[in-house]
Structure 1
Amino acid sequence: MMTRPRHSRLKLLLLMALFAAPLLSAWAMVTWRVGIPEGRTAHGQLAPELPALADWPLEEPMTASEHWVLAFDCRGDCAAEADRWWRLHRALGREAPRLERLRIVAAEAMPGQAALPGERLASWRSPPAWGEPGALWLLSPQGEVVLGYSPGAPLRDVMDDLQHLLKVNPERGASSN
């Protein structure tokens, strides 16, 4: 008869341990920083301090659209850079329609520029202090700068970030399977 209560207590203790184990392991991970990844997933620099696209000093103000925007500062001769970002856009495959490219050129160079397919052209009214020739920015559909890249950013890094953002931000109206 004595084994019955002892057996019930043992079951209760095991059940309590089962529910407490995840909490204890999470507390240990946070306290001793064990098992928590230190690496970043974004290759670009987070840029929440930059103004929204509508506030950029462009000749013709741009507004937010329903697409992600890949904007790059092209103040000099940057046909190779424009082609590079066009190829990245094409490499997105079926996700390509979710991205627009915005090439921002110097005001005096605007008449001689021709837009590549899927690209919009704009010119700086006055180049901003935060802008840099050759810089690249990834903007959300709301026009907010998400990531910024320095000139000459590796194509693979930008592609990884862009694919990740498109994956974790599904298209509006798309049904989830």
Structure 2
Amino acid sequence: MNPALAMPDAPPARRRGRLQLLLILMVVIGPMVLASAMYKFQFWVPEGRSFHGTLVGNGLTGADIGVRGAVSGGGWQLLVTAPAGCQADCQQLVYLARQIHIGLGREASRASHSLATTVVPADYAETLRQEYPQLRRLGLDAAAYHKAAAAPEGAQLWIVDPHGNLVLRYDGATRGKQILNDLRHLLKLSNIG
């Protein structure tokens, strides 16, 4: 065999090896580059969502919206906030939070419900003491609540994770079944609390 004839075969083999290396790198790095571009330039982002409330995915805690006291007791929490005092809309959300907590069934031990407000009318305070024995009562700094961009006016119901982070927010018009479905979904996916 002539050594001069064997020489031309080496460059195509080297090119083929380089092409394989580039293909492997594209398969590994390509999806990461595509995902980063999708996030940065907001294209091909799905419009659908599986939750019904307003997502508060920016790491806010109860203290950031003026809630005084420990928001998280080691589990998930349904927190009702009422910056203008607990009037009819707040009272409806407190009732709804209890019903959702009961509706969790065997998962109820992983969650609790609480109320953070500035003022509770005396007659409703007695109702809370008698009819809502498991309800935790927390204070609310109205000035801090109004400064927080994520905290709108009126009574709100928040889902709080075991670390004390606000996850979802609902107003008084949201149906209880939607909130219950969202909380069940979070409990199913969660390995904490």
2:60 and 2:165 in contact (8 A); partners too? no
2:72 and 2:160 in contact (8 A); partners too? no
Matched to 2:21, the amino acid is L
Q: What are the ranges of 5 or more consecutive residues in structure 1 without an aligned counterpart? A: 173-177
Relative to structure 1, the CA distance from residue 73 to residue 143 in structure 2 (aligned partners, 3 Å threshold; closer, same or farther) is same
The equivalent residue for 1:120 is: 135
The equivalent residue for 1:19 is: 25
The equivalent residue for 1:97 is: 109
TM-score, normalised relative to structure 2:
0.61
The equivalent residue for 2:46 is: 37
- C-alpha separation between the residues in 1 aligned to 2:113 and 2:172? 16
Relative to structure 1, the CA distance from residue 7 to residue 50 in structure 2 (aligned partners, 3 Å threshold; closer, same or farther) is closer
2:62 and 2:71 in contact (8 A); partners too? no
Q: Does 1:166 align with 2:190?
A: no
Matched to 2:75, the amino acid is H
- C-alpha separation between the residues in 2 aligned to 1:87 and 1:132? 23
The equivalent residue for 1:87 is: 99
Percent identity (aligned): 20
Structural mapping, 1:4-83, within 5 Å = 6-7=12-13, 9-28=15-34, 30=37, 33-39=42-48, 42=51, 43-46=53-56, 48=59, 51-52=62-63, 56=67, 61-62=69-70, 64-73=72-81, 75-77=86-88, 81-83=93-95
Shift of residue 170 of structure 1? 0.9
- C-alpha separation between the residues in 1 aligned to 2:98 and 2:55? 22
The equivalent residue for 1:175 is: none
1:138 and 1:146 in contact (8 A); partners too? yes
- C-alpha separation between the residues in 1 aligned to 2:160 and 2:10? 66
Matched to 2:182, the amino acid is D
Matched to 2:79, the amino acid is A
Matched to 1:44, the amino acid is T
1:53 and 1:62 in contact (8 A); partners too? no
Shift of residue 116 of structure 1? 3.9
Counting matched residue pairs gives 168
Determine helix, strand or coil for the equivalent of 1:90.
Answer: helix
Determine helix, strand or coil for the equivalent of 2:25.
Answer: helix
Matched to 1:72, the amino acid is V
- C-alpha separation between the residues in 2 aligned to 1:142 and 1:148? 16
Relative to structure 1, the CA distance from residue 142 to residue 8 in structure 2 (aligned partners, 3 Å threshold; closer, same or farther) is closer
Shift of residue 157 of structure 1? 3.8
- C-alpha separation between the residues in 1 aligned to 2:105 and 2:29? 43
2:67 and 2:140 in contact (8 A); partners too? no
Determine helix, strand or coil for the equivalent of 1:69.
Answer: strand
The equivalent residue for 1:136 is: 157
